[in-house]
Structure 1
């Protein structure tokens, strides 16, 4: 599934594969080959990339955009001018580093997860004690690799204002499915989560709007939750505090981070070889991390699995407000607040009526909201008046959603974007667009709690989102017959021929 439809990915060697998951180096090789093998008018995609360029600001022009950049250490700025701007800077481009008092006195290495793979922390003989901050998948990966490398490993979980440790699920499949990811890429599984993108139809209404169906779905998700906790065996004997890795909230709500386990001995390794601490960082000194609990942890390398900042810093606060990007609540005009509050109140009533299960979230910590959610139509385009050319169509956003597999999503987004930018795609009225956005953001915040605050989380909605985009374009998303469309995973090969259909429909040559 990790491929685009126009270039199959060679299967990695068996020694690098576990339940069809493979080492990251093969993904790098695939993408390297992709940009070299795609040639348009005599130039490859690689020829069209400007490397080591940092976008500093964007200026809206009458005829498009001015993109102000700088290159490396060169202080001189360069400005690119363009009529169309596609922002595809991703959600994981800017590391979020925690505040570390005393870092100037620290003599060890400090790394974000972004630099872990290219570092020498696992091989350096000078690094014996490794401490990892964070409670999610990336932190777990670094902890595991450090422990397997024979290092003395400490894992520090935040004590206050936290959604708790992440959920780590077995990747094993059942029946014909080789792994859990394949199950999640079926329309059948997509229907097991309450979402407007799945219909609504008689089946989803039965599962999520009726008391019988809601009870059935609650039982299903509770069984998934219980199985994950049983497999982890958090109460087992351990080196220290293994039970502290138990998630604070049920898996259905996705209030914490999570991911699939890529190593069958992950929990056994952590329990036997890793000391786990729960406490907030107080300060660093020489080769020591000190917690506010008074505990002092010997540290030669401090690894921060602390997440990411949104990669939209080159937009001003005014531009973020104008285009429907997250912006500070304190900066929103009173009229705008009243406008969206009214639309969202109506949307929330619809959410809770359609999906009564979402009206009863667990009592857990939810991060305080400081910014508005994304308010992009179809999570791509700024809201505008209806019609194909009624307003400036010069900027779009690709990949600003949280999904489990970006390959089919950005492939469909790219066709939608092409038709939109060229004025070939008809949009509904502005009022309808606003209602659609408000319905998704209020649902997202109810469905995913802390992780839904930005209004762009589609952990279980990838299939429905793809269907929605292709329906907008008048293209068929059900491409393999009703049985396979329901029970089989969506593969990249299923979309072969889709680009040709798109080009023919919209008159591209």
Structure 2
């Protein structure tokens, strides 16, 4: 391709959402002269809370006081934009934009470090250097290189859009949840009837907004289909997300421990993981007997391997790349900041890793626990920690020499007595 350029950095961060911003900030706090950039596929920072993703009834799922990083306070929004301590998501957007504008290292703010409209289409390692390819036009692409890389693209970045039978003759717009806010589809005068596909939170949000807008709504879930034809002026999709790991080749994904086709593993590797996951399952049931017999639920089989990263962050065999905030959890700002501090210590060689076998056992035991604790495809994928945020972050902080939250609270209670 004509117009191929290369641009070299010390550290590349993929994504300028919550995790990408705080990861870059904590790295630059310790290495202010580091040549660091953030590759962001959209025009603005924020990720899920970016301007293009907002809509009027989008509220946060965290509260005032928890929706901020340690180095910049977020003022309480006006009361008319709050429901108790929850608030409209636009204030998180404003906070993240302010954060990017204010944080400065070696004379450069984040706004000057972020390269926008840069969708990373390919990630590969050539010798000891990571190559991230962004294609900007038919005749222009740039390969960004660095010895270290932070992947903070997030799980809610690229919507899953299926190929629908008869789609080429379907006149109404098909809008995934990621584009719902920017579309303003419910403001269009000819949008009277809408169909919403999916039964998760994003679908529920679109349903609520559509009803509030006075539209006639049909809410459908795939397994309830009966062949009935329903007219609509817009088809709104809330059926999940496409993994960002598709930018990694199959060989690279397999080597790093990212989800991949199990057939790519050697017979020895498949046997090993099967054995240690079974050991993890037995240990889980012994420690948590209640998880041995879950209530009836809809089982969904996944076709790919689970995430196999130590602490959910680092590959066992490659210490030059980390993945943060791909877990689905509660307070993603706090979660991202703890991970960001941990990866700085990790990259600087200040985290003592256990042996390879110990790391693999830890990964397998978490997967076994996750599969029984979270009865969904996320549990099988081992990237769901909604009710395990505190122990997981305690574990990361203990690696930094910090007293964990459980011990601190217990000590306070004893002192109170």
TM-score higher than 0.5: yes
| Band the TM-score falls in, shorter-chain normalisation | 0.7 to 0.9
| Aligned equivalent of 1:472 | 399
Secondary structure of 2:206's partner? helix
User: How many Å separate the matches in 1 of 2:316 and 2:407?
Assistant: 34
Matches within 5 A, 1:113-124: 113-124=177-188
- State the structure with bigger RCO (CA 8 A, min sep 6), 1 or 2: 1
| Aligned equivalent of 1:424 | 350
In structure 1, stretches of 5+ residues that fail to align are 160-277, 280-292, 385-391, 487-509
| Aligned equivalent of 2:70 | 5
Give 1:328 deviation, angstroms.
Answer: 0.9
| Aligned equivalent of 1:302 | 235
Closer, same or farther in 2 for the Cα pair 1:479/1:330, shift >3 Å?
closer
Q: Does 1:375 align with 2:375?
A: no
Secondary structure of 1:297's partner? coil
| Aligned equivalent of 1:95 | 159
Give 1:294 deviation, angstroms.
Answer: 3.1
Give 1:39 deviation, angstroms.
Answer: 0.5
Closer, same or farther in 2 for the Cα pair 1:362/1:480, shift >3 Å?
closer
* TM-score, scaled relative to structure 1: 0.66
- What is the count of residue pairs matched by the alignment? 348
Secondary structure of 2:77's partner? coil
User: How many Å separate the matches in 1 of 2:222 and 2:78?
Assistant: 39
Give 1:456 deviation, angstroms.
Answer: 1.4
Closer, same or farther in 2 for the Cα pair 1:118/1:358, shift >3 Å?
same
User: Quick check: 1:393–1:423 contact (8 Å CA) kept in 2?
Assistant: no
| Aligned equivalent of 2:379 | 452
| Aligned equivalent of 1:399 | 325
User: How many Å separate the matches in 2 of 1:128 and 1:467?
Assistant: 50
User: How many Å separate the matches in 2 of 1:332 and 1:394?
Assistant: 22
User: How many Å separate the matches in 2 of 1:369 and 1:62?
Assistant: 33
Structure index of larger Rg: 1
| Aligned equivalent of 1:24 | 89
2:298 to 365, 376, 393: 365
Q: Does 1:110 align with 2:174?
A: yes
Q: Does 1:329 align with 2:262?
A: yes
Give 1:479 deviation, angstroms.
Answer: 9.6
User: Quick check: 2:124–2:252 contact (8 Å CA) kept in 1?
Assistant: no
Closer, same or farther in 2 for the Cα pair 1:444/1:485, shift >3 Å?
farther
User: Quick check: 2:297–2:375 contact (8 Å CA) kept in 1?
Assistant: no
User: How many Å separate the matches in 2 of 1:365 and 1:149?
Assistant: 33
Give 1:379 deviation, angstroms.
Answer: 0.5
Q: Deviations over 1:343-385 (max 9, x none)?
A: 111111111111111110223221112111111000011114x
* TM-score, scaled relative to structure 2: 0.80
Q: Does 1:348 align with 2:281?
A: yes
**Two-structure CA RMSD over aligned residues (Å):** 1.8
User: Quick check: 2:124–2:249 contact (8 Å CA) kept in 1?
Assistant: no
Matches within 5 A, 1:104-253: 104-159=168-223
